[in-house]
Each structure stands twice: as C-alpha cells, then as structure tokens.
Amino acid sequence: MPDDGKSGRSRTRERLGKLLREGGDVLTVENASRILGTSTEDAAKALARWCEQGWLSRIRRGVYVPVPVESISKDRALEDAWIVIPDLFGPAYVGGWSAAEHWDLTEQIFRDICVFSTRPVAKRHQVIHNIPFVVTHIAPSRQFGTRTVWRKEKKLSVSDPSRTIVDMLANPWTGGGIEHVIDCLRNYFKSPHLSPQQVIEYAQRLGNAAVFKRLGFLTERLLGEDHLLVPACKSRLSKGNAQLDPALKGDKLVTRWRLFIPSVLSFDTDSTA
C-alpha cells in the first residue's frame, strides 16, 4: 500500500509549488482558489497554513506575499511596494507626492506611498507589511486622469502629471505641503507634461473650487499674469475665500484671488491686488 502521509506531503508540495509559480508577487484567496482549483474556504485555510509554516507572509486579511527561501525574516519589505496596491486598496491609483516622484516633478523621496482609493478608508495612515501608506478616499466618479503602469506583471494606475497637480492643489497635504506643491508645479510648468487645457478640464471635473484660486494665484506668481492659465482660473473663481494651504493659517488676503496666504511664504501678498 502507498504511504498516505508521504503522498499527502507530496501533493501539498505540488500545490504550493503551483501556487508560487503561477500566483505572482501577491496572492489572494480568490486567485489561490482559481490556481488550486478549490473552494475559497479551502484556499483560505491553505494560505493560512502555509503562512504559519513560513512559506507566505500575510499583509492583510486574505492577502499574502511569498517569502523567498533566502529571506531571514518574513517581515521583509517588498522589493516593489506598489504591486500590493490593487489588492489592498483597489480600485485605486497612486497619486500625490508618489505620482510626483514617478513623473519626475520632484527630487524629494518620500517613504510613505500616497494612494487614492474608492474603498472606504478607516485610517488614513496605515503600515502594512512594513510599508507605510497614506490613503485618501475618492468617489468612483472622480477616478479619472490616470495612466496604467506595470510593475512585475502587476497592472495598476497612477495619476497622470496634470491630475497629480490638480490633486495636490485640491489637498496640499497630499503633495507634502504647499511649499513642496509649489516646487512640483514649477517643475510641471518646465516639463513636457505641461497641458493647461487638461489642468483646467480636470479641475472642473473634480469640482473643488479652491483649485482655481490656488492655481491662478501660483501661476501668476510663477509665470506672470499674461499666462493663459491666469484668466482661465480668474473666470472660474467661486465666491468666498479659501486658504492657500489649510494646514497653514493665512494671515494676508489676496482679494484678486480670494485667497489667504501665510506670511511665511515669500510671495508678494498685497491685499489690495
């Protein structure tokens, strides 16, 4: 008679090998179920068992990554952290300062990865598998202006350069604060990515009135009042005043742009302008 224990172990090794070969860099219960040809309940149990045995590392409920044989600790950082974003936060896109890095709009390197997700967000700051994420909820209707990128055969989305600028102007903290947003905007203006029409279109679709106030003010300061973005923003100003950066209380009002500017910024802020 065959050794049932031995054959059982052999089948387990074959199943694990098949999963590791075909599963890619991120394993979910659903794709494990498909690869192994079993129910999701059995797949979940198998993944949990292999995690306990050290073959996999759990990064979130139902989401695992393989642990390489040469790895000393299964809590290693991923070689490319972007690949887990679709499974953790999708539908989602990489944006803000992370997208600015991707498009060479900044020389700064941020440890945290900025993600915009259509899923409900319980905590903005999350550390998963030693990877720090900053997650912002966004309505599905506002998930536009993105491009597809591939990382290790993993398909994901990143905001295009114009959408990146609009997002950072809508919420300066997603750009690392207004001073860094200004640097990114300056680099955007000098880059081949510059598309004034696209920026205006995205800002209108996003529906955040403060974007036009911030964009118009900053464009006027950086490129002069004759740049076509200045009148385009001026014609779209809403009533009421906004802060240049809600995190920095502005103490000077530029009435031309209905914008409060912090005196710590080195801009001419003549309140009678």
Range of the domain at 241: 208-273
Q: Rounded to whole angstroms, how far apart are CA atoms 122 and 118?
A: 12
Tokens of 44: 């979940």
Together in a domain, 61 and 33 = yes
Tokens of 43: 């797949």
User: How confident is the model at residue 183, as a pLDDT?
Assistant: 95
Cα within 13 Å of Cα(129), Cβ side: 25
Q: Rounded to whole angstroms, how far apart are CA atoms 52 and 215?
A: 52
User: How confident is the model at residue 10, as a pLDDT?
Assistant: 57
User: How confident is the model at residue 72, as a pLDDT?
Assistant: 37
Quick check: is 72 in a domain? no
Together in a domain, 228 and 270 = yes
User: How confident is the model at residue 242, as a pLDDT?
Assistant: 96
User: How confident is the model at residue 8, as a pLDDT?
Assistant: 52
Local confidence pLDDT in tens for the 273 residues of the chain? 334 444 555 577 678 888 888 888 888 999 899 999 999 998 998 898 888 877 888 888 889 888 765 443 444 444 478 888 998 898 999 999 999 999 999 988 888 999 999 999 889 999 887 789 999 999 999 999 999 998 877 899 999 999 999 999 999 999 999 999 999 999 999 999 999 999 999 999 999 999 999 999 999 999 999 999 999 999 999 999 999 999 998 889 999 999 999 988 865 444 434
Together in a domain, 108 and 182 = yes
Quick check: is 35 in a domain? yes
Together in a domain, 61 and 88 = no
Task: Report the domain count for the chain.
Answer: 3
Q: Rounded to whole angstroms, how far apart are CA atoms 183 and 244?
A: 14
Q: What is the H or E stretch that residue 78 is in?
A: none
Quick check: is 139 in a domain? yes
Please name every residue paired with 148 in a beta bridge, in sequence order, or none if there are none.
157
**End-to-end Cα separation, the chain, in angstroms:** 94
Q: Residues for the chain: how many in total?
A: 273
Q: Rounded to whole angstroms, how far apart are CA atoms 136 and 80?
A: 21
User: How confident is the model at residue 119, as a pLDDT?
Assistant: 93
> Which of 154, 187, 220 represents a domain boundary (last residue)?
187
Computed on alpha carbons and rounded to an integer, the radius of gyration of the chain in Å comes to 24
Name every residue whose Cβ is closer than 8 Å to that of residue 227 and which is 6 or more positions away in sequence.
219, 220
Together in a domain, 53 and 88 = no
Please name every residue paired with 135 in a beta bridge, in sequence order, or none if there are none.
115
Together in a domain, 46 and 138 = no
Tokens of 216: 């118009």
Together in a domain, 62 and 87 = no
Together in a domain, 88 and 131 = yes
Together in a domain, 62 and 84 = no
Quick check: is 16 in a domain? yes
- Sheet of 146-151: strand order equals 125-128, 131-137, 113-117, 92-94, 154-159, 146-151
Q: Rounded to whole angstroms, how far apart are CA atoms 272 and 140?
A: 41
Report the CATH number that the domain containing residue 43 is assigned in CATH: 1.10.10.10
Quick check: is 263 in a domain? yes
> Which of 187, 217, 244 represents a domain boundary (last residue)?
187
Quick check: is 84 in a domain? yes
Q: What are phi and psi of 214, to 5 degrees?
A: -70, -45
User: How confident is the model at residue 60, as a pLDDT?
Assistant: 83
Quick check: is 220 in a domain? yes
Together in a domain, 137 and 171 = yes
Together in a domain, 102 and 160 = yes
pLDDT in tens, 149-182: 988 778 999 999 999 999 999 999 999 999 999 9
Name every residue whose Cβ is closer than 8 Å to that of residue 272 and which is 6 or more positions away in sequence.
255
Q: Rounded to whole angstroms, how far apart are CA atoms 184 and 102?
A: 12
Together in a domain, 168 and 93 = yes
Q: Kind of pairing, strands 92-94 and 125-128?
A: unpaired
Quick check: is 195 in a domain? no
Residue type, 210: A
Which alpha helices (DSSP H) does the chain contain, by range? 4-22, 29-36, 40-52, 85-89, 96-102, 161-170, 178-190, 196-206, 210-223, 229-234
